Amino acid sequence: MSEQRQLRLVVNGEVRTGQVEPRKLLVDFLREDLGLTGTHVGCEHGICGACTILVNGEAARSCLMLAVQADGAELLTVEGLAREGRLHPLQDAFWEHHGLQCGFCTPGMLIAAYDLLQTNPTPTEEEIRAGLSAVLCRCTGYHGIVRAVQAAAECLRGGEE
Ligand code: FES
Ligand code: FES
């Protein structure tokens, strides 16, 4: 058995620690060691985007990172979107506007949308489609997802327009 490495990182605002083999993927560390199974594993090749999380504020595919590469980092996973028992406006909007069917892509889609709205609070439809293009959805045809992101953006801007 190979040597274990000690990790310390902040996940969804909480300090988490663990011991991992150097070859362990970040997504597997989140799911297996921290019990954060909201982040999904699809292709494990950086294609589908289901495993998207924020690492130090930037969207990253957690299947393409080793857990040891996240040592000392600050992560946001889908579990960190809801605050004080209330869903994030993006989560509410996905629910309201049928932004999901099977839900497999949804954690990655929500994090990609969160990342997009952080950098562009007033995206056009085209910008939303481009911003989410790194996450594949096999079910929805994307229309509901785009409507949900538009609605969440408006809600986050305080319902103006
Ligand atoms: S599981 Fe990471 S991109 Fe598909
Ligand atoms: S809702 Fe099924 S893959 Fe997107």
Over residues 89-109, the mean pLDDT reads 97
pLDDT tens readout for residues 9-22: 999 999 999 999 99
Torsion of CA 5, 115, 92, 16, to 10 degrees: 20
Same domain, 65 and 106: no
Same domain, 54 and 103: no
Same domain, 51 and 108: no
Q: Quick check: is 27 in a domain?
A: yes
Q: Average model confidence (pLDDT) for the chain?
A: 96
pLDDT category at 69 given cuts 50, 70, 90 is very high
Same domain, 22 and 39: yes
Over residues 126-154, the mean pLDDT reads 97
Query: What are residue 60's DSSP bridge partners?
Result: 53
Angle at 28 between CA 52 and CA 73, to 5 degrees: 60
Atom of ligand 1 nearest to the CA of 44: 1
Give the pLDDT of residue 2.
73
Give the pLDDT of residue 1.
60
Q: Does the pLDDT at position 142 exceed 90?
A: yes
Same domain, 54 and 19: yes
- Tokens 């921290």 correspond to what residue? 34
- Would you say the CB of residue 65 lies under 6 angstroms from ligand 1? no
Q: Quick check: is 161 in a domain?
A: no
Q: What is the CATH number of the domain that holds 105?
A: 1.10.150.120
Q: Quick check: is 35 in a domain?
A: yes
- Which helix or strand (DSSP H or E) is residue 96 part of? helix 89-96
Tell me how far apart the terminal alpha carbons of the chain are, to the nearest angstrom.
59
Residue 106 in contact with residue 77, Cβ under 8 Å? Answer: no
Same domain, 45 and 107: no
State the residue range of the domain holding 38: 5-80
Q: Would you state the structure tokens that stand for residue 24, as one six-digit string?
A: 């362990």
Q: Quick check: is 125 in a domain?
A: yes
Atom of ligand 2 nearest to the CA of 139: 2
- Would you say the CB of residue 136 lies under 6 angstroms from ligand 1? no
Over residues 52-68, the mean pLDDT reads 98
Give the pLDDT of residue 159.
65
Same domain, 9 and 51: yes
CB atoms within 10 A of CB 35: 9
Give this prediction's pTM. Answer: 0.96
Q: Which of 80, 106, 132 is the endpoint of a domain?
A: 80
pLDDT tens readout for residues 86-96: 999 999 999 99
Total structural domains in the chain? 2
